[in-house]
Structure 1
C-alpha cells in the first residue's frame, strides 16, 4: 500500500475551475467504483489544494491516471497554479474516524 500527499496553490482566478475539474474526477470515480484506490481532496481557504491518494498496490499503481476526467484535470494544471504541485509519500501517524480502517 502506498499513500501520497500532493499540495499546490492555484491562482485565485483559477481555483473554482480547478475545483470543478476535481469534482469531475470524483464523479467518474463514483460511477466506475475502481478497486484498490482511496482518494481525498481538500481546498483550503487560501486556494491551496491538498490531495491524499492511497493505492493498494505496493508500487503505487492505481486507476486514477487512467480516468479521462483525471487527464482533463492534469491538462493545464501548471498554468492554474501559483505554486506548483509537490507530491510526497506519507504515512499515517494517527487516525480517528477520518480514514477507513486498514
Structure 2
C-alpha cells in the first residue's frame, strides 16, 4: 500500500476553478468506482489544497491518473499554482473513523 500527500497553493483567482476541476474528479471516481484507490482533498482558507491518495498496489500504481477528469485537472496545474505541488510519502500515525477500517490502516 502506498500513501501520498500532495500540497500546493493556488493563485487566489484560480482557486475556485481548481476546486471545480477536483469536484469533477470525484464525480468520475463515484461513477467509475475503481478498486484499490482512496482519495481525499481539502481546501484551506488561504487557497492551499491538500490531497491524500492511498493506493493498494504495492508499486503505487493507481487508476486515478487514467481518469479523464483527473487529466483535465492536471492540465494547466502549473498556471493555477502560486506554490508548486509538493509530493510526500506518508505513514498514518493515528486514525479515528476518518480513513476507513483500522485493519486496513495497519499495512
TM range (shorter): over 0.9
Does residue 95 (structure 1) correspond to residue 95 (structure 2)? The answer is yes
Question: Paired residue for 2:25?
Answer: 25
Question: Paired residue for 2:65?
Answer: 65
Q: Deviations over 1:45-68 (max 9, x none)?
A: 000000000000011101000000
Question: Paired residue for 1:39?
Answer: 39
Judge which range, 11-20 or 92-101, deviates more: 92-101
Runs of 4+ in 1 over 4 A off after TM superposition: none
Tell me how far apart the structure 2 counterparts of residues 68 and 51 of structure 1 sit (CA, whole Å).
Answer: 18
Tell me how far apart the structure 2 counterparts of residues 70 and 91 of structure 1 sit (CA, whole Å).
Answer: 24
Residue ranges of structure 2 left out of the alignment (5+ in a row): none
Offset of residue 23 of structure 1: 0.2
Offset of residue 77 of structure 1: 0.2
Q: Deviations over 1:18-48 (max 9, x none)?
A: 0000000000000000000000000000000
Counterpart mapping for 1:3-18 below 5 A: 3-18=3-18
RMSD: 0.4
Residue ranges of structure 1 left out of the alignment (5+ in a row): none
Offset of residue 89 of structure 1: 0.3
Calculate the TM-score normalised by the size of structure 1.
0.99
Calculate the TM-score normalised by the size of structure 2.
0.94
